[in-house]
C-alpha cells in the first residue's frame, strides 16, 4: 500500500521533458491516485510573462495519456489551498529545487492546517522547458547565420 491515497502536483508542463516524467513517476510511487494540475495559459502568462509553446488543452491531453496520471485538471491559481478546497488531496508533490522558496514555505504552512504535507521530490538537473526553448532559439539563430 502506498503512503498517500490522493496526490496532487501542478505545473505548466510546456515542452514536456524527462524532468516532468521523473517527477510524475516519483509522485505516483507514493500515491494511489495522482491528480495533475496544468497551469492555464492565462495563469502562465500572468506569472511568467510567457506564452506557452502548446496551449493548455494540448498540455492536458498529453498528460492524460500518461499511465501514472489518473486525472488532469486545468487550474487558474497558484494558491494550493484553493486547489485543496476543491479536490482534497492527501499530499502535494513538487521538485526539491523549490524547497526553501518563499511561496512554497507559505504553501507548507497553509496546507499544514489540513495535515497535508508538501513532498519534495528529486529535481532532474540539466533540463527545463526554459532551457529547451533557449536551445531551440539558439539553434534557429545559428541556422539563419549559416544561410
Please give the Cα distance from 106 to 57 (Å, whole number).
29
Domain range 4-146, its CATH number among 3.90.1150.170, 3.40.50.620, 3.40.50.720, 4.10.640.10: 3.40.50.620
pLDDT at 136: 47
pTM: 0.86
Angle 140-142-145 (CA atoms, 0-180°, nearest 5)? Answer: 115
- pLDDT-based confidence at residue 135 (cuts at 50, 70, 90): very low
- pLDDT-based confidence at residue 15 (cuts at 50, 70, 90): confident
- Per-residue pLDDT at 143 exceeds 90: no
Question: Residue with C-alpha cell 489540513?
Answer: 114
* pLDDT tens readout for residues 105-131: 999 999 999 999 999 999 887 656 566
Evaluate whether 80 touches 111 at the Cβ level (below 8 Å): yes
**Torsion on CA atoms 79, 97, 109, 50, rounded to nearest 10:** -20
Out of 26-40, 43-57, 88-102, 126-140, which region has the weakest mean confidence (pLDDT)?
126-140
Please give the Cα distance from 67 to 34 (Å, whole number).
10
Segment 54-83 mean pLDDT:
97
- Per-residue pLDDT at 49 exceeds 80: yes
Q: What is the DSSP string of 68-124?
A: T--EEEEES-S-HHHHHHHH--SEEEEEGGGTT-HHHHHHHHHHHTTTPPEEEE---
Amino acid at each position: 500500500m502506498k503512503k498517500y491515497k490522493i496526490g496532487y502536483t501542478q505545473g505548466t508542463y510546456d515542452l514536456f521533458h524527462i524532468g516532468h516524467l521523473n517527477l510524475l513517476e516519483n509522485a505516483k510511487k507514493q500515491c494511489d491516485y495522482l491528480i495533475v494540475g496544468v497551469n492555464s495559459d492565462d495563469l502562465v502568462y500572468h506569472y511568467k510573462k510567457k506564452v506557452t509553446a502548446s496551449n493548455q488543452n494540448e498540455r492536458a491531453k498529453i498528460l492524460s495519456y500518461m499511465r501514472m496520471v489518473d486525472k488532469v485538471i486545468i487550474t487558474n491559481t497558484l494558491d494550493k489551498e484553493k486547489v485543496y478546497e476543491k479536490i482534497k488531496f492527501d499530499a502535494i508533490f513538487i521538485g526539491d529545487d523549490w524547497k526553501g522558496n518563499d511561496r512554497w514555505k507559505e504553501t507548507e504552512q497553509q496546507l499544514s492546517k489540513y495535515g497535508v504535507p508538501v513532498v519534495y521530490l528529486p529535481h532532474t538537473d540539466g533540463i527545463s522547458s526554459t532551457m529547451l526553448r533557449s536551445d531551440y532559439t539558439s539553434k534557429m539563430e545559428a541556422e539563419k547565420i549559416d544561410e
